[in-house]
């Protein structure tokens, strides 16, 4: 099970990453492009997800495209989900309490790759 300390450690280990706070929630950016963020479920999210929606820590993470998003959603693990707010948007929501730290690392690195400038990716591809 992962937690916010794991997210912070993994995200800040990536080149060019900064952390900032927005509306009381943490965000991680590469060269000022958002790639991962703390995303508490809102009233509309809970209504859309139904009575079984967990009110546990949720990470938002960018993905490269909608195909990757659909693949993660259909993996059957129960780790990944989305809400109507993210329809048509290349981002995934992650139940932190259901993901291993190693799998979280993969999600965060892929989110970083999805948003980092090409020159930064090229420079650090072998290091990550």
In order of their start, the domains of the chain are 4-120 (3.90.1150.30)
User: Which stretches does DSSP call E strand in 12-116?
Assistant: 17-22, 25-30, 33-38, 58-62, 80-81, 91-95
Rounded CA separation 104/57 (Å) = 13
Length of the chain equals 128
Would you say 73 and 86 are in contact if contact means Cβ atoms under 8 Å apart?
A: no
- Asked whether the predicted pLDDT for residue 52 surpasses 80, the reply is no
pLDDT tens digits, residue range 8-41?
Answer: 999 999 999 999 999 899 999 999 999 999 998 7
Q: Which residue has the higher pLDDT, 95 or 48?
A: 95
pLDDT at residue 53 in the model? 64
Instruction: Identify the DSSP state of 38.
Output: E
Q: What is the distance between the alpha carbons of residues 32 and 46, in angstroms, rounded to a whole number?
A: 30
What is the predicted pLDDT for the residue at 36? 98
């Amino acid at each position: 099970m992962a937690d916010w300390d794991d997210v912070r450690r993994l995200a800040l280990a990536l080149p060019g990453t900064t952390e900032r706070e927005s509306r009381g929630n943490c965000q991680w950016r590469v060269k000022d492009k958002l790639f991962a963020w703390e995303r508490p479920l809102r009233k509309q999210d809970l209504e859309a997800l139904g009575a079984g929606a967990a009110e546990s820590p949720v990470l938002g993470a960018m993905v490269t495209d909608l195909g990757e998003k659909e693949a993660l959603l259909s993996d059957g693990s129960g780790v990944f989900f989305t809400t109507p707010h993210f329809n048509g948007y290349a981002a995934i929501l992650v139940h932190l309490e259901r993901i291993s730290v190693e799998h979280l690392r993969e999600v965060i690195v892929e989110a970083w790759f999805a948003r980092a400038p090409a020159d930064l990716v090229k420079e650090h591809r072998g290091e990550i």
